[in-house]
Amino acid sequence: MQALFAQQVTFLYTADLAATARFYEEIIGLPLVLDQGSCRIYRVSADGFLGFCQRTGAAPTGVIVTFVTQDVDEWHMQLVARGVVFEKTPTFNTDYNIYHCFLRDPNGYLLEIQRFCDPAWPQP
C-alpha cells in the first residue's frame, strides 16, 4: 500500500453557493479549479483543495478549516482590509505551539489561519 495519497479535497456544504464563491474567490483569493455547477472546487495548496456543494439544511458545526502559512499577520491584515471581521485576532497558543487567528465564512464555517511553531511540523 502506498503511504500517501496524490491529492486531498475537503468538501463542505453550503446553502448559498454564490455567496460562498464570492467569499473564497474575491475575499480569500483562492483559485477556482473546477466548477461542477452545484459544486465549486478551489486550490488551497499545490495538491490540497476545498470544495463547496449547494445543499439545503447544511449545518457548519464541528468543522474547522485551517489554512497553514508562515504569514499569519499578513493574511490577517489583508483580510481586515477587505472587510473581514475576525473572531480571534492573531495570538500565540501555548497548548499547541501555534500562532493563529479565527474568522467565519458566509456559511458559518470556522476558518483558522495558522503557523506551526514546532520545528517537527513538515514543511511544504
Domains of the chain plus CATH, in order, are: 8-116 (3.10.180.10)
32-69 pLDDT per residue, tens: 999 999 999 999 999 999 999 998 877 777 789 999 99
Query: Backbone phi, then psi, for 26, in 5-degree steps?
Result: -90, -35
Residue 73, C-alpha cell as written in the block: 499577520
pTM for the model: 0.86
70-113 pLDDT per residue, tens: 999 999 999 999 999 999 999 999 999 999 999 999 999 999 99
From residue 95, how far is each of 54, 92, 98, 106, 113 by CA, in Å? 36, 9, 8, 29, 16
DSSP state of 2: -
DSSP state of 26: I
